[in-house]
Structure 1
């Protein structure tokens, strides 16, 4: 089922019918349809429609000059009208109206935050409230990972997930001290919290055989925009916002279908005593 969800995200503009996705899952279409609905709580058609609309919503926010029609076509809708109906059903407003309201709210929140908290760097963070100038464009190799999945809200639940599930799992398999990854498959500002998917992964060594019951995937390589974050864990969302909504729109680049992730160095990651997080925020990009 994880393979099917990854296939959907990677092929939103293509054919995502029952027969195609049943073949990805190695089930008959009849059994796959029933299992998918039982496992996700959504019918296949509803899930695909939601992922298409939510992915387009993220693109509309990250690319202010992207037309509604191109956003619709890019995620597999046949017309702007069909997209607008599905978008309104999900978000309660037309795409252009929703985008304008979201960006206005972002700007208002940023101004309020600037007035209501100490000046940048007072907390020792390397982040500030200006568009980041130190973003690097890097070509990263693909990485084979073993991972655990968290389904639900981000933020504090993810900290508990790492502490109670991921850290013991890494120690159990002798993988503590390696590069680890936090892979966000959904934007919590767009996707409802219960449906947000997050994978905590660790790089596997060459030739390493994972456990029979472990989940394994390949984190795609290619061009990424990379921003270094070093600060309080509860400010990590600012880093994502600055990168996706402030830096990206003026670059001539766009998001592609690969997942966004945080990469934690062996000597970094989250320090529970200080509440600080050290990582690299990695966003997959491609030319417009």
Structure 2
């Protein structure tokens, strides 16, 4: 499967993030709760280094809760706090300020010791495309300042956003990394829409998704598409899904493009249930 997608503006974004670190007190990294490892940009890890960081596991309503909690325990340390959120309905956002204050306790105490009262905490929001950064910022600001969209790369330039919590957020464009060393990571990003569908073969991607789901979530496929028994071969299961949904072309052949788009849309929309593609 050929994946060639690294746009030039991401090189500029990487440089801007590095330059902006000195302007902020902490980094707020947003990941997809369904693919916590794959949605963690290694560039962010190296750029941010020892900067205090909060990792927000967004879209947690689409992931398995037990696995999400295991990720929280796995990633939390002295310099990093982890919180599961849903940036669309605001679930978990009320816990962000107390978590930030705990993470920055020493710095805040120094500010207070100097007599500073109305100080503003500044955080830089980072994450890969289509992980929900703009929706998070809009919810925090309670208005649609940041542009949102279900297509990767909607946010093009950095901007400061004020919130009512005494926190200012620096929005940055989504950044991916130049090369995928692991095909599984690339597939996970493609499954969840972090990589633009236009550069992928949708039919191949849907087939890979069936292959992945039938291993750990076969019951979800059977329940959603009213299938009695799954075959060992993913292509046969994709055929079964197509027949159940009427994705049949003229002459009775399978309309693979139609069934592939439908399957990916339903997975991304959570219609197959809560699914986590990675475990810690």
What TM-score does the superposition give when structure 2 sets the normalisation length?
0.25
The structure with higher relative contact order (CA 8 Å, sep 6+) is 2
> Max radius of gyration: which structure?
2
